[in-house]
Structure 1
Amino acid sequence: MYETFFGLQHLPFSSVPAPAQYMPFEAVSAARESIERAIDRGEGPALLVGPAGTGKTLLCQLVARRFEDEFTVAMLANSKLCTRRALLQNILFELNLPFRNMEEGELRLSLMDYLDPVSDGDRGLLLIVDEAHTFSTRLLEELRLITNLVRNGQPRVRLLLSGSGRLEELIADPQLESFQQRIAARCYLHALTRDEVIEYIQGQLAGAGATRRVFSEDAYQAVYEASDGIPRVVNQICDHTLLLASVGGVNDIQAAGIAEAWTDLQQLPAPWASDETQPAAEHFIEFGSLDDDNYGDLSESDGESLGVDLTEDEVETIASNDDVAADSIESNDFDAADFDWQTVETCLELIENGQEENCWTANATMNNAGDERGEFDSFSSLVSGPMTSLDDVEVLLHEALREQASRAPKHIECKKEEVTAEELDDSPESDDEMRHIIPLASDPFGGEFAKETVVYDPAETID
């Protein structure tokens, strides 16, 4: 349909395996050479493994054409066989021999009779099994038995098995150990590289008679990304792209044309990202309240809640130094983990109530300074000027407590005092002190037991 538009002699991209379109890439050529060597020398069965669409069937056809003049070729490619009888019937059908209304044993004898040499130039049978991964272990064992037939020191049946990766799993079955030992060649096919895809497309177009460029460089890249290098998918995409281009009157196919063909075939967006696609926005998760950076929204009432009297000038000073406080935090000069916030809060409440001398008692545990203290300087006397930030309050308080801790004794003597029951029973004299009295549980086995009285002793002799 599009051959005339692009000046081609025939369809360049076939939907079925065509030996005339064979491209001798490195992996395919190496596999072909190994298989042909194993068949020609009678070394043993050959194994061809590869993903779907990589050219296994095409390679089987090439091997069949290579040996069609030397062997009788039977290729099993169109049937999913379930029994040994069905397998033998298919082989006889390919050999144009009777196969109907015959039992399994009769089919096997008929095949053996055919394999007996009739002349010196008869080399026997080349049996090619495509889609061999659908076979069961019983059928693979039957194929091994067929290849055991030997005449004049030469095997009468040469075997080539082709299939997906599951074929190797079947061969690895312990029941097929004897068959696995006979395999002479293991060959693998894989997807094409980017350069091989470009060479393949150009080779197919040149073989069809193309005299000018049809695909642009970005179109080649798009074909490779869409097909993942699978030759069957390359054929499908390129054929459909040429069809749409001829309908639209496009002579030079770009990447957009490949994307259109892919979308039309799969009814899905193209699997590669276009150049105009913008990267997705990065997402970040931040912890803390939304106003963590706002240090200046303070008022005099905030100072009262902290136990500090703030004048209007001090509030303005704190608000004007927000950036300084933020910079100190970002530079790790201030670490909230270094502060005992519970102690600071308690001390601020004591200062508010005019009991700053009790700050030492609240902080004694943190400083491990004991229960004795020296004279505590008034906290308010330490504040000699206007505060620059609330952090200054914390710093000044800790400096005062640290200084007081240096005056305290470093060793603590603990005296054990006995508490009488009368002291425990005393009720609290005021509401400032609460005592919880928990009575001790009595020991049920602490007292003496009553003497046991024997009522009747069966061991005692009855007079």
Structure 2
Amino acid sequence: MYKNFYKLQSSPFGTSPDPRFLYMMPHTREALACLEYGISARKGFTVLTGEVGTGKTTLLRRALSSFSSRRVSTAFVFNPRLDTLDFLEFVMTDFGIVPETRTKSGMLLQLNRWLIERFRMEETCVVVVDEAQNLSWELLEEIRLLTNLETSSEKLLQIVLSGQPELEEKLRHPSVRQLRQRVSLWCRTQSLSESQTHAYVAERLRIAGSREEIFSSDALDLVHRYSRGIPRIINLLCEHSLIVGYVEQAPQITPAIVEGVAVELELETQPFYISSAAMDSRGTRQSHLGSRDADSFRTTFNGEPTGRQDR
């Protein structure tokens, strides 16, 4: 309803993870390059972590879409609260495989044959598990065992675990140390600084067709303050501010409008706290590579910021 008033071609602050609106900040480029490298180089396990609302799913979809011109098959598990048989059935179905039997051994044999066929056709097969911090210990172990599906030189299945910072805590547990040792690449998303928030909003408006400065600079300062730099909350604030601006026929979003929306959404009294796990990793680099992969990564994605190592 506000698109015509503000001369926009599309909604700039939608809630769906649209890769078109991914704003490439330094840490975003690094995380994206890390994901793409892990998949294309057949590294086996890649882990992506970040606070709620920092764009992990958008980043994953952008990384997977970058392989659209190549032979890549993907299975995207968005609900990890499954038992082993349900998980295997879900993965196979998403790959387009009709399970011939619903026994664990039968499905694994069928999946292995299919993966070998795809490998011979020079295809890459990827399983992405979103919200992976909710995986049971049993299913984590089963996922680790899936990486045993391999040839003498290559992993047949690439696995990306994506989740909140609690996923990193979970992977530090001694019971999953074998899985942790197999993780080749660690990627992280993070909240935005004030200047990045300004640039993020401006870029999304530009992609949506805006040619004017719809949000005042002071209004964006408040957006950052109330959102604490979390993209999902930035989107929520900006979307509601545009609606209020349309209702009030305001040509520009002012601090008063943002303040009113923040009060309505109770962002001052009910802020979105950042988890302690995320706070522990703030200021550290957003991607981590095993020592054997570091040189290859930097060579493949020459010029990408590397940040600081935390491990």
Q: Which moved more, 1:149-158 or 1:196-205?
A: 149-158
Match of 2:108 in 1: 108
- For residues 100 and 166 of structure 1, do their structure 2 counterparts lie closer, same or farther at Cα, with a shift above 3 Å needed? farther
Secondary structure, in 3 states, of the residue corresponding to 1:125? strand
Deviation for aligned residue 1:152: 5.3
- For residues 269 and 140 of structure 1, do their structure 2 counterparts lie closer, same or farther at Cα, with a shift above 3 Å needed? closer
Match of 1:177 in 2: 177
Letter aligned with residue 179 of structure 1: L
Letter aligned with residue 196 of structure 1: Q
Letter aligned with residue 28 of structure 1: T
CA distance in 1, matches of 2:198, 2:127: 35
Alignment of 1:86-97 (within 5 A): 86-97=86-97
> Cα deviations across residues 389-420 of structure 1 (Å, max 9, x unaligned)?
xxxxxxxxxxxxxxxxxxxxxxxxxxxxxxxx
> Cα deviations across residues 234-278 of structure 1 (Å, max 9, x unaligned)?
00100110001101111121111001112223386697xxxxxxx
Deviation for aligned residue 1:62: 1.2
Structure 1 or 2, whichever has the larger Rg, is 1
> Cα deviations across residues 6-30 of structure 1 (Å, max 9, x unaligned)?
1111111111110000100111111
Match of 1:49 in 2: 49
CA distance in 2, matches of 1:39, 1:118: 15
Secondary structure, in 3 states, of the residue corresponding to 1:8? coil
Q: Indicate conservation of the 8 Å contact 2:40/2:124, yes or no.
A: no
Letter aligned with residue 240 of structure 1: H
Letter aligned with residue 74 of structure 1: A
Match of 1:429 in 2: none
> Cα deviations across residues 110-135 of structure 1 (Å, max 9, x unaligned)?
21121122574333411111111110
Match of 1:369 in 2: none
- For residues 94 and 170 of structure 1, do their structure 2 counterparts lie closer, same or farther at Cα, with a shift above 3 Å needed? same
Gaps of 5+ in 2: 272-311
- For residues 124 and 249 of structure 1, do their structure 2 counterparts lie closer, same or farther at Cα, with a shift above 3 Å needed? closer
- For residues 258 and 57 of structure 1, do their structure 2 counterparts lie closer, same or farther at Cα, with a shift above 3 Å needed? same
Q: Indicate conservation of the 8 Å contact 1:127/1:157, yes or no.
A: yes
Q: CA RMSD in A?
A: 1.9
Q: Which moved more, 1:40-49 or 1:261-270?
A: 261-270
Match of 1:314 in 2: none
Instruction: Say whether residues 1:20 and 2:15 are aligned partners.
Output: no
Match of 1:274 in 2: none
Match of 2:73 in 1: 72
Q: Indicate conservation of the 8 Å contact 1:76/1:130, yes or no.
A: yes
TM-score (norm 2): 0.82
Q: Indicate conservation of the 8 Å contact 1:74/1:94, yes or no.
A: yes
Secondary structure, in 3 states, of the residue corresponding to 2:5? helix
Deviation for aligned residue 1:85: 0.8
Deviation for aligned residue 1:160: 0.9
Q: Which protein, 1 or 2, shows the higher relative CO under an 8 Å CA cutoff with sep ≥ 6?
A: 2
> Cα deviations across residues 75-99 of structure 1 (Å, max 9, x unaligned)?
111x233311111011012012224
CA distance in 2, matches of 1:186, 1:261: 37
Match of 1:342 in 2: none
Alignment of 1:12-411 (within 5 A): 12-68=12-68, 69-77=70-78, 79-99=79-99, 102-117=102-117, 120-151=120-151, 153-266=153-266
Secondary structure, in 3 states, of the residue corresponding to 1:151? coil
Deviation for aligned residue 1:139: 1.0
> Cα deviations across residues 120-168 of structure 1 (Å, max 9, x unaligned)?
4333411111111110121111111111111252111011110011111
Gaps of 5+ in 1: 272-463
Letter aligned with residue 166 of structure 1: E
- For residues 178 and 267 of structure 1, do their structure 2 counterparts lie closer, same or farther at Cα, with a shift above 3 Å needed? closer
CA distance in 2, matches of 1:265, 1:119: 50
- For residues 148 and 100 of structure 1, do their structure 2 counterparts lie closer, same or farther at Cα, with a shift above 3 Å needed? closer
Q: Indicate conservation of the 8 Å contact 1:226/1:270, yes or no.
A: no
TM-score (norm 1): 0.56
- For residues 168 and 189 of structure 1, do their structure 2 counterparts lie closer, same or farther at Cα, with a shift above 3 Å needed? same
Letter aligned with residue 9 of structure 1: Q
> Cα deviations across residues 163-187 of structure 1 (Å, max 9, x unaligned)?
0111112212222222111111111
Q: How many residues of Structure 1 are paired with residues of Structure 2 in the alignment?
A: 270
- For residues 5 and 226 of structure 1, do their structure 2 counterparts lie closer, same or farther at Cα, with a shift above 3 Å needed? same
Q: Indicate conservation of the 8 Å contact 1:263/1:270, yes or no.
A: no
Deviation for aligned residue 1:218: 1.0
Letter aligned with residue 126 of structure 2: L
Q: Indicate conservation of the 8 Å contact 1:137/1:170, yes or no.
A: no
Secondary structure, in 3 states, of the residue corresponding to 1:184? strand
CA distance in 2, matches of 1:121, 1:100: 23
- For residues 53 and 118 of structure 1, do their structure 2 counterparts lie closer, same or farther at Cα, with a shift above 3 Å needed? closer
Match of 2:5 in 1: 5
> Cα deviations across residues 271-326 of structure 1 (Å, max 9, x unaligned)?
7xxxxxxxxxxxxxxxxxxxxxxxxxxxxxxxxxxxxxxxxxxxxxxxxxxxxxxx
Letter aligned with residue 76 of structure 1: V
CA distance in 2, matches of 1:136, 1:203: 39
Deviation for aligned residue 1:100: 8.1
CA distance in 2, matches of 1:185, 1:100: 34
Letter aligned with residue 72 of structure 1: S
Runs of 4+ in 1 over 3 A off after TM superposition: 118-121, 266-271
CA distance in 1, matches of 2:87, 2:204: 37
Secondary structure, in 3 states, of the residue corresponding to 2:75? strand
CA distance in 1, matches of 2:120, 2:94: 23
